[in-house]
Amino acid sequence: MTEATRRERLRADTERDIRATARALLVGQGRDSVTLRAIARELGITAPALYRYYDSREALLRAVCEDICADLDAELTPAIRDVPSDDPLGRVFAVCRAFRRWALAHPQEFELVFASPEEESVGLGRTEPGRTEPGRAEPGRAERGRRPAQDRFGSVFIHVIGHVLVAPEAFVPTSEDVPAELHDDLVTYRQRLLESLAEVGVTVPAELLQLDGVYFILKWWVRLYGHIALEVFDRFPFPLRDAEPLFERMLTELAVESGFPNPAANDG
Amino acid sequence: MTEATRRERLRADTERDIRATARALLVGQGRDSVTLRAIARELGITAPALYRYYDSREALLRAVCEDICADLDAELTPAIRDVPSDDPLGRVFAVCRAFRRWALAHPQEFELVFASPEEESVGLGRTEPGRTEPGRAEPGRAERGRRPAQDRFGSVFIHVIGHVLVAPEAFVPTSEDVPAELHDDLVTYRQRLLESLAEVGVTVPAELLQLDGVYFILKWWVRLYGHIALEVFDRFPFPLRDAEPLFERMLTELAVESGFPNPAANDG
DNA sequence: CAACTGTGTGAACACCGTTCACCCCGACCC
DNA sequence: GGGTCGGGGTGAACGGTGTTCACACAGTTG
């Protein structure tokens, strides 16, 4: 780590400062307000200097996305650790509640990460018609550049689920029959789950995570995301005074469907 | 209707042209590309002329939002009518599938309407510190201006659900117990549902729509929205080759929970 | 006819992302 | 030491943006 040059350290510092400033602007005044000139102004430099660090505003926003995901990860993980590992359902509840709380407290960041269609070179890459080859032209950046936000968030979700799965008894039920058309995708996802967990040092026996379980997780991610996004964007079909009871009831249903007949947790 | 002045008709025409052009730009090149100057260019006028019709770009976008909702309504309603009224479950399936198809075909419009935090006077109203009174200063515009997008969409949802509810036998189950904290909100929503249905000429006996049913609808809106938003934004925790089986399975579960043990519809 | 009102214009302001030529200073090599 | 080189920063500039304002013109209204 300390092998880095002085220059490299300085560069990394300002790079971090830039993203932090951008994020402060995002949180404070919304996505449209995170402006290259505003960032530069805040840092006491000029806007073109930022191009020494990021290729474009869009690239900067992508980097901010990754920072947000890292922070979300860092916030959800301890929320799990606070619950004893012999209470897997409690851990699931904890991470779901923490995710909701985070989303409500950081709506702008939630929107940027979880509700933007696509991030790949919006209207810029086509200005040079010569480079039509889809092959890996720039190995350094483009290699892992496909769907960075999704990958980054995928890892958050994987971490979270992984920490729950290491409970002494797996909580995911195995009574569902998965749709045949989803089989291949689910197998791929289970592979990624196990690999990603192994990276963090968590080894899960493969037979613990059956395909039914993966399907179960996927289905519940839909409900979790649906509720939180609706609440953040205030898009319930009618103004809901307080959506928390609805959320807690959803968790109760999750508990029931998981095979826990009498959930102990009632409110957060 | 024909009582309108020639001037008024002309004005309404260009007003419609403006929104149509804005929407074409939105569909073709994304939200950021719907620019006052681009709209004006397309219409052969100059940008400031648009201010004779809309107070700001944000106001124009709001109007576009309402147009989108109206179109969505116009697209979902016939999707229901095509299914015989003695097949309420089939109608629900039809409208859910139509909504998903519409969202996937119009991602930009879906994002604008269903995934934007708030629309109320973003950073403009505070420039004049003198008008700090929150009272109804401008009766004409501000009167029904609160949460126009939500209201507008709420009506879409209400219409859709309403047409399903007029089936000879109500399909919504009544076996659920609703959370006590949600009681008041659900009562309010049921009221709005019935009122809005009455406006369209559909009279539903009040006892047909019990509070359990409203709660049931709300819960399923969460799942429907969650799946569609995830698919449109491509934010499943892992790349899903084809999300349609997952969607169809969700509909099957809806059928089961509605009390239809053996759903006849299998794929769209 | 005159007055007024609605509609459109062109110039202007402040801001934006991005590019370019330039400059300066620290790091490196000889 | 001196020389080179390159990364980081600058200011000017280009084209674009939302928005405001004074002005002009047509159509309606008195």
Q: What is the CB-side half-sphere exposure of residue B5 using CA atoms within 13 A?
A: 3
Q: Is the pLDDT of residue A241 over 80?
A: yes
B65-117+151-267: what CATH class?
Answer: mainly alpha
CATH class of A7-54: mainly alpha
Cα–Cα distance, A150 to A115 (Å, whole number) = 11
Note whether B246 contacts A179, CB cutoff 8 Å: yes
Instruction: Tell me if B90 sits within 8 A of B265, measured CB to CB.
Output: yes
Q: Cβ(B38)–Cβ(B49) under 8 Å? A: no
Phi, psi angles (nearest 5°) of residue B75: -90, -35
pLDDT tens figures, A3-17: 667 778 899 999 999
CA torsion A61-A64-A70-A72 (nearest 10°) is -90
C19 nearest neighbour residue (CA to C1'): A48
Q: Judge whether A223 and A230 are in contact, CB under 8 Å.
A: no
pLDDT at residue number A262? 56
* Contact across the interface for A118 and B234, Cβ inside 8 Å: yes
What the block records as the tokens of A223 is 């409900």
Domain positions in chain B are 7-54, 65-117+151-267
Residue (of B247, B196, B188) closest to B215 by Cα position: B188
pLDDT at B226 exceeding the cut of 70: yes
Q: Which residues touch strand C (CB under 7 A)?
A: A 5-7, 35-38, 47-48, 51, 56-58, 124; B 7, 10-11, 14, 40, 44-46, 48-49, 52-53
Query: Which of A9-18, B117-126, B258-267 has the largest mean confidence?
Result: A9-18
First to last CA, chain A: 41
Beta strands in chain B (DSSP E): none
A171 pLDDT more than 80: no
Gap from B29 CA to C8 C1', in Å?
A: 27
| Mean pLDDT confidence for B100-128 | 73
- Three-class DSSP category at B73: helix
CB contact under 8 A, B235 and A115: yes
The pLDDT, as a whole number, for residue A133 is: 35
pLDDT mean across residues, chain B: 80
Question: Cβ contact (<8 Å) for A150 and B235?
Answer: yes
Separation in Å: C27 C1' and B41 CA: 53
Q: Which two tokens stand for residue B3?
A: 């009582």
Residue A144 banded pLDDT, cuts 50, 70, 90? very low
A8 has a chain B CB within 8 A of its CB: no
Name which of A129, A155, A2, A200 is nearest A65 in CA terms: A155
Closest partner CB to A222 (pick from B158, B230, B248): B230
Chain A residues touching B224 at Cβ < 8 A: 226
Q: Which of B12-16, B83-87, B121-125, B149-153 has the lowest mean pLDDT?
A: B121-125
3-state SS track over chain A:
CCCCCHHHHHHHHHHHHHHHHHHHHHHHHCHHHCCHHHHHHHHCCCHHHHHHCCCCHHHHHHHHHHHHHHHHHHHHHHHHHCCCCCCHHHHHHHHHHHHHHHHHHCHHHHHHHHCCCCCCCCCCHHHCCCCCCCCCCCHHHHCCCCCHHHHHHHHHHHHHHHHHHCCCCCCCCCCCCCCHHHHHHHHHHHHHHHHHHHHCCCCCCHHHCCHHHHHHHHHHHHHHHHHHHHHHHCCCCCCCCCCHHHHHHHHHHHHHHHCCCCCCCCCC
B257's CB contacts (< 8 A; 6+ apart) are: B173, B216
Q: Is residue B178 pLDDT above 70, yes or no?
A: yes
Q: Which pair of structure tokens corresponds to residue B172? A: 């919504």
pLDDT higher than threshold 50 for residue A139: no
Across the interface, whether the CB atoms of A122 and B30 are under 8 A apart is answered: yes
Distances (CA, A) of B117 to A22, A109, A229, A232, B185: 19, 11, 10, 7, 21
What are the pLDDT digits (tens) for A223-237? 999 999 999 998 888
Write out pLDDT tens, residues B123-166.
333 333 333 333 333 333 333 334 444 555 666 677 777 777 76
Give B73's contacts (C-beta < 8 A, 6+ positions apart).
B155, B156, B159, B160
The pair of structure tokens assigned to B144 is: 């029904």
What integer pLDDT is reported at residue B169 of this predicted model? 63
User: Rounded to whole angstroms, how far apart are CA atoms A39 and A19?
Assistant: 9
Give one word for A95, left, alpha or beta, with left for phi > 0 and alpha for psi -120 to 50: alpha
Nearest nucleotide (C1') to alpha carbon of B57: D18
Tens-digit pLDDT profile for residues A41-69: 999 999 999 999 999 999 999 999 999 99
Given this model, what pLDDT does residue B262 score?
56
Q: Is B226 helix (H, G, I), strand (E, B) or coil?
A: helix
What pLDDT is recorded for position B137? 34
How high is the pLDDT of residue A153? 65
Interface of B with A in 101-120 (CB under 8 A): 107-108, 111, 114-118
